Amino acid sequence: MTDVSMTVNGKAATGSVEGRTLLVQFLREDLGLTGTHVGCDTSQCGACVVHVNGKAVKACTMLAAEADGAEVTTIEGMAAPDGTLNTVQQAFQDHHGLQCGFCTPGMVMSAAALLEENPSPSEQEIREYLEGNICRCTGYHNIVKAIMAASGQDVTAIAAE
Ligand code: FES
Ligand code: FES
């Protein structure tokens, strides 16, 4: 077992993990942060995306031990302490960017990372960035629209499905 310590959603988090323990397991099972989902065992779905040191990472592709000392943000860390949704979350709600919601935490985390890198992405850039996030419900249209809206862009051009 290896001791790990990291900052998760602004708070110190410590634990003792096996060498094979994935970051997503540590977050969900040890810290109880079950907003980060597991939708596959092939690193394809993106339901597990979190931020590690400000970058979007599939938490099923990283060992918990590798995140030792890192700053990690999960979906639970996105809203304000009073529950006010952040801009991306609010845009998903406003533009119906979700149906079952299973992919949504990963989508929101990926979208937030994209907007950090590129505050005003084109529709095509959004679609390309989300290549690693699979949604089985929405057809992506409203997700793209929500992200464009979160970036402050006019979404009327892509308003019709
Ligand atoms: Fe599917 Fe991580 S759980 S990519
Ligand atoms: Fe159901 Fe995306 S909203 S998988």
Q: Ligand 1: distance of its center to the CA of 21 in Å?
A: 14
d(CA 96, CA 111): 15
Q: State the pLDDT confidence band at 90, using cuts at 50, 70 and 90.
A: very high
Q: What is the pLDDT of residue 161?
A: 55
Residue 152 has pLDDT above 90, yes or no: yes
Q: What is the pLDDT of residue 78?
A: 98
Averaged pLDDT, 22-29: 98
Q: Which atom of ligand 2 approaches the CA of 136 most closely?
A: 4
Averaged pLDDT, 41-53: 98
CA 144 to chain centre: 15
CA angle 79, 81, 82 (to 5 degrees): 95
d(CA 46, CA 107): 7
More confident residue, 86 or 160: 86
pLDDT averaged over every residue in the chain: 96
Least distant ligand from the CA of 44: 1
Domain boundaries, the chain: 2-77, 87-150
Selecting from 3.10.20.30, 3.40.50.300, 3.40.50.1970, 3.30.450.20, what CATH number does the domain 2-77 have?
A: 3.10.20.30
Ligand 1 pocket member 44 (CB < 6 A): yes
Domains 2-77 and 87-150 alike in fold: no
Q: Ligand 2: distance of its center to the CA of 69 in Å?
A: 32
Q: Which atom of ligand 1 approaches the CA of 43 most closely?
A: 4
Q: What is the pLDDT of residue 157?
A: 74
Selecting from 3.40.30.10, 1.10.1740.10, 1.10.150.120, 3.30.590.10, what CATH number does the domain 87-150 have?
A: 1.10.150.120
CB burial readout 28-51, b (16+ within 10 A) else e: bebbebebbbbbeeeeebbbbbbb
8 A C-beta contact, residue 86 and residue 80: yes
Ligand 1 pocket member 109 (CB < 6 A): no
Least distant ligand from the CA of 105: 2
Q: Ligand 1: distance of its center to the CA of 157 in Å?
A: 32
